[in-house]
Homo-oligomer: A and B are copies of this chain.
């Protein structure tokens, strides 16, 4: 049985998680096929340590998305893998003191070798002259992508002219590497606010917009606030395990966005309450099949 056939059967049942997942495939397919619509991907959480890096790269290379908003952690994990390191399959029951001595950083049951940071430092230092020409975070990430090894999210975005926005870039391993240069008295002057003009312009200039959120956090919220400067997103897919009851942006159902003008009341949207390492591969495999 093909993944897309399974999703078609889930569509027939139409309810609960299976129904939401099937609807997510439909809506993601629709926002991609709608030539009037830009697709904004907001992604937070441990997707690269969770093995989703290649899918993200494929989504960019296939031009399924137009704008990518993410966390510094994702870009750091991407670079770490691009520089030749792996995330290892470990156990969530590990002795963390031992892991620390052995030089492994744990994310649930995924382990990153800590020595990756040394190579990351060398890499950032080697291109810092170039990086320091950036005036905005988007430019910084574009330069970083240009110099990044092939088969990385950063390089794929650069090659496909997909702008990367990462408002909290300083909150990451990459941020720490820049800090390492600052304490060596090198300079970089990247403006914390400047990117707002660009992302809002993209949202405002596009006839329609589609949003696809993997996790919440800053990436989702940053896209959501740009949507306020459009007529509201026409398409929305959200994969999150956070709950609505606590009131935070990460767990807010897309429907809440209607009150803010972030979502078009006539838009098509769905919330999928599922681990994204399960939901994303299914959505991607199905959509890829449908786009053939």
Contacts and interface: CB of A to CB of B under 8 A. Distances in A.
Given A19-B51, A190-B192, A246 B9 contact: no
Nearest to A260: B105
Contacts of A247: 15-16, 45-46, 49-50, 107-110, 277
A151 to B, nearest CB: 16
How many chain A residues sit at the interface, stated as a range, is 35 or more
A65 interface: no
Contacts of A111: 259
A185 B111 CA distance: 47
B285 A278 contact: no
A225 to B, nearest CB: 6
A6 B190 contact: no
A18 interface: yes
Given A168-B171, A193-B188, A277-B18, A106 B51 contact: no
A245 interface: yes
A34 interface: no
A35 B127 CA distance: 43
Interface stretch (A93-101, A142-150, A152-160): A93-101
A108 B244 contact: yes
A3 B10 CA distance: 13
- Report the copy number of this chain in the oligomer: 4
A277 B172 CA distance: 28
Interface in A100-142: 100, 104-111, 114, 137
Contacts of A137: 192
B193 A193 contact: no
A205 interface: no
B107 A256 contact: yes
Contacts of A197: 179, 182-183
A175 B199 CA distance: 13
Nearest to A12: B51
A21 B265 CA distance: 32
A16 to B, nearest CB: 4
Nearest to A217: B217
A246 B111 CA distance: 14
Contacts of A277: 10, 13, 15-19, 246-247
B6 A285 contact: yes
Contacts of A275: 16-18, 245-246, 273-274
Contacts of A218: 71, 168, 171, 217-218
A220 B291 CA distance: 40
A98 to B, nearest CB: 9
Contacts of A96: 255-259, 265
14 contacts: A1-B3, A10-B277, A16-B108, A16-B109, A45-B247, A97-B265, A167-B167, A167-B171, A170-B196, A175-B193, A178-B193, A246-B275, A250-B250, A278-B278
